Amino acid sequence: MTSSSLMAGLRDHPNEIDRMGRFAAMKRVGVASAIVLGLLSACKNPIGSRYEPDDAAQERGLLAINEAGCAACHEIPGVAWPKGRLGPSLDGFDDVGMIAGQLPNRPDLLAVFIRNAPSVKRHTTMPAMPVTQSEAADIAAYLYGLDDD
């Protein structure tokens, strides 16, 4: 659709023009809130560095990942092989929004999810995995440390 035919279409539908106007207003609010957020973010770090996992924990985490075989279903940076694709890639996990698209992104919840996913997300495909509580915390540390930018 060219822009002139779009305008012609809009003229036949006045309601549409009204909606467009409202959209423009919303966009202005959006810009304003982005500025406010930008100012606020000076106080609150972006996710990647919100948690600062220590190196030893991350190292233990990678070991636990290999021992449990997480890579059978996930592509995981630092694990050369295998690169299973049954589950989502965990590349750049430091930037993920919600855990498995549903749970609040917190280290303690991530550890619980890693250990026993169905207990926090019913009907998820990811099964409970044979890792201890402290191993799960280490794995969470490792995943949050995956800074790809």
Partner 1 sequence: MIDALWGWPPPVLDPAGPYADKVTTLAWALFGMGVVVTAIVCAALWLAVRGSPRMKALIGGERTIWIGGIAFPGVVLLGLLVWGLTLTASLTQPIRGDEMRIRITGEMWWFRVQYLNADGDIVMEDANELHLPVGVPVVLELEGADVIHSFWVPHLSGKKDMIPGRRTLLRVQADRPGEFGGLCAEYCGSQHALMGFVAIAHKESDWQTWFDDRTTRVARTEMLAETAPPDAMPYPGDAAAYPMELGTLERYDARRGMRLFMESGCAACHRIAGTEANGLAGPDLTHVGSRRSLGAGILPNNRGTMMGWIGDSQSIKPGNRMPSYDVLSAEDIGHIAAFLELQK
Q: Which residues bind ligand HEC (CB under 6 A)?
A: 65, 68, 70, 72-74, 86-88, 90, 96, 99-101, 114, 121, 124-127, 129, 131, 139, 143
Q: Return the closest-CA partner of residue 105 out of 93, 115, 92, 89.
A: 93
- Is residue 91 a contact partner of residue 77, using CB atoms and an 8 Å limit? yes
Question: For residues 74 and 112, which CB has a smaller minimum distance to ligand HEC in the complex?
Answer: 74
Stretch near partner 1 under the rule CB under 8 A, chosen from 27-35, 36-44, 79-87, 140-148? 79-87
78 binds partner 1 (CB under 8 A): no
The two tokens of residue 132 are: 């201890």
85 binds, among partner 1, ligand HEC, none (CB under 5 to 8 A by kind): partner 1
CA atoms within 13 A on the CB side of 96: 23
103 binds, among ligand HEC, partner 1, none (CB under 5 to 8 A by kind): none
Residues 6+ apart with CB under 8 A from 50: 44
